[in-house]
Amino acid sequence: DDMGQEERAFQARIDEGIKIEAKDWMPDAYRKTLIRQISQHAHSEIVGQLPEGNWVTRAPTLKRKSILLAKIQDEAGHGLYLYSAAETLGVSRDDLLAALHSGKAKYSSIFNYPTLSWADMGAIGWLVDGSAIINQIPLCRCSYGPYARAMIRVCKEESFHARQGYDIMMSLCKGTPEQKAMAQDALNRWWWPSLMMFGPSDAASVNSAQSAQWRIKLFSNDELRQRMVDQTVPQIEYLGLTVPDPDLKFNAETGHYEFGEIDWSEFNNVLKGNGPCNRERLQTRVKAYEDGAWFRDALVAYADKQAANKAA
């Protein structure tokens, strides 16, 4: 049947590494899974500003404060960039935000944890943005053109985020014993949630097979998670800190670190909305959206007036 013929032609383009653009024919399911992933990626960027926002007024120096502000501003830009990429698939930003505010749409589990000390700003930049980079570099080569192109700029800014985070951790680890203890405490609290950012195990991943076939996902959840562990353990050793995983050990044969079992009940609990900060994060986002309604309405009224004047 011709539907099969169209899908076969589509898959052939994907297999040849041809970028799919907004105006191209695509299976409904391809459109749907991209709207799902890109909008949730955008939600992650927007909600991801909140944990760090907590430390803008508490930053130890003006320099650290201005760097943190710049990072948070970048995340807002990443979110808007990704909402625009999602809109190319025929969805409205208001619908995407309604899905977030109603609890229907997900955002990255990592942002449901509290930021308890300044060292968390280091751990987040280093581990969370570090993990995001590992996940986002392959997305620069994914099959959907607007998403791949958005990722190229996002990745450039993410590397600044990760480096400033590691710089905070280095300062603390070279500081007083209390400062080094703060860095270890932050590592203890952010290590496992950072590994959970890569998603469930490959065996438990419902979207991976289809996303891999459509070259949306170029590496599996477990492959990227392994990359994160292999890259980060030497950095932890350089800092003189300890990985909070007694089962961690280097396998000289494979060249990879083997690590302990992830607490998937914690992961699933956070996804169900029962993480430490889920309710607070969503309430903050809903309040910001409602408080901004007058401004959005004024912009629309002004645009309508401009259009009426032009038409007159």
Closest CB to ligand 3HC among residues 36, 65: 36
- Minimum CB separation from ligand 3HC for residue 298, in Å? 30
Among 39, 49, 88, 108, binds ligand 3HC (CB under 6 A): 108
Among 206, 252, 293, 308, binds ligand 3HC (CB under 6 A): 206
- Minimum CB separation from ligand 3HC for residue 188, in Å? 19
* Alpha-carbon gap, residue 134 to 125, rounded angstroms: 13
**Reduced 3-state DSSP string for the chain:** CHHHHHHHHHHHHHHCCCCECCCCCCCHHHHHHHHHHHHHHHHHHHHCHHHHHCCCCCCCCHHHHHHHHHHHHHHHHHHHHHHHHHHCCCCCHHHHHHHHHCCCCCCCHHHHCCCCCCHHHHHHHHHHHHHHHHHHHHHCCCCEHHHHHHHHHHHHHHHHHHHHHHHHHHHHHCCCHHHHHHHHHHHHHHHHHHHHCCCCCHHHCCCHHHHHHCCCCCCCHHHHHHHHHHHHHHHHHHHCCCCCCCCCEEECCCCEEECCCCCHHHHHHHHHHHCCCHHHHHHHHHHHHHHCHHHHHHHHHHHHHHHHHHHC
Is residue 164 within the footprint of ligand 3HC (CB under 6 A)? no
Is residue 196 within the footprint of ligand 3HC (CB under 6 A)? yes
Residues 259-298 that bind ligand 3HC (CB under 6 A): 271
Is residue 40 within the footprint of ligand 3HC (CB under 6 A)? yes
Among 188, 207, 231, 284, binds ligand 3HC (CB under 6 A): 207
Is residue 52 within the footprint of ligand 3HC (CB under 6 A)? no
Is residue 197 within the footprint of ligand 3HC (CB under 6 A)? yes
Closest CB to ligand 3HC among residues 88, 211: 211
Is residue 180 within the footprint of ligand 3HC (CB under 6 A)? no
Is residue 51 within the footprint of ligand 3HC (CB under 6 A)? no
Is residue 173 within the footprint of ligand 3HC (CB under 6 A)? no
Among 184, 199, 245, 282, binds ligand 3HC (CB under 6 A): 199
Tokens of 262: 């992830």
- Minimum CB separation from ligand 3HC for residue 297, in Å? 29
Among 39, 49, 88, 109, binds ligand 3HC (CB under 6 A): 109
Establish how many alpha carbons lie within 13 A of residue 271's alpha carbon, considering only the half-sphere containing its beta carbon. Answer: 11
Q: Which residues bind ligand 3HC (CB under 6 A)?
A: 36-37, 40-41, 44-45, 48, 75, 78, 106, 108-109, 128-129, 132, 135, 158, 196-200, 205-208, 211, 217, 221, 271
